Amino acid sequence: MKSPASYRYASSHEWAVASDGEVRVGITYHAQDQLGDIVHVELPMVGRKVKKGESVAEVESVKAVSEIYSPISGLISGVNAALAGSPELINKEPYTHGWLFAVAPDDVSELTGLMDAAAYDTHAGH
């Protein structure tokens, strides 16, 4: 699956997309494919201050538990509450309904330091 062109990507396989003053974050199709069936998600607390590259969440699959890193610094402004009862949304729709958390960025220009879709697809071996 090709990565959405309008998103930005971290080398640790998170995606980020800016919308309405927030940056929504999730894991890529490649990441969820490597993890296998996701069975549990630990999301960050709304209001938590995070730094770019900081571990802020965990995704547990039948294979492993993986740390999820924030691709941007700021304040956690929201989490995807639907994942509590349906963590498989990350497998089914990683770029839409399977988002993890949103950040009110300190500096949205940090997104320019992330990979574009073509660079990420090369990084992920696609």
Predicted local distance difference test score (pLDDT) of residue 13: 97
CATH number at residue 67: 2.40.50.100
In a domain, 85, yes or no: yes
Q: What is the pTM (predicted TM-score) of this model?
A: 0.96
Full domain range(s) for residue 90 = 8-107
Mean pLDDT on 101-107: 98
In a domain, 1, yes or no: no
pLDDT-based confidence at residue 109 (cuts at 50, 70, 90): very high
- C-alpha closest to that of 1 among 98, 120, 99: 120
Label each residue of the chain as H, E or C: CCCCCCCEECCCCEEEEEECCEEEEEECHHHHHHHCCEEEEECCCCCCEECCCCEEEEEEECCCEEEEECCCCEEEEEECHHHHCCCCHHHHCCCCCCCCEEEEECCHHHHHHCECHHHHHHHCCC
Number of structural domains in the chain? 1
How confident is the model over 78-92, as pLDDT tens digits? 999 999 999 999 999
In a domain, 16, yes or no: yes
In a domain, 118, yes or no: no
How confident is the model over 18-72, as pLDDT tens digits? 999 999 999 999 999 999 999 999 999 999 999 999 999 999 999 999 999 999 9
In a domain, 66, yes or no: yes
Predicted local distance difference test score (pLDDT) of residue 1: 75
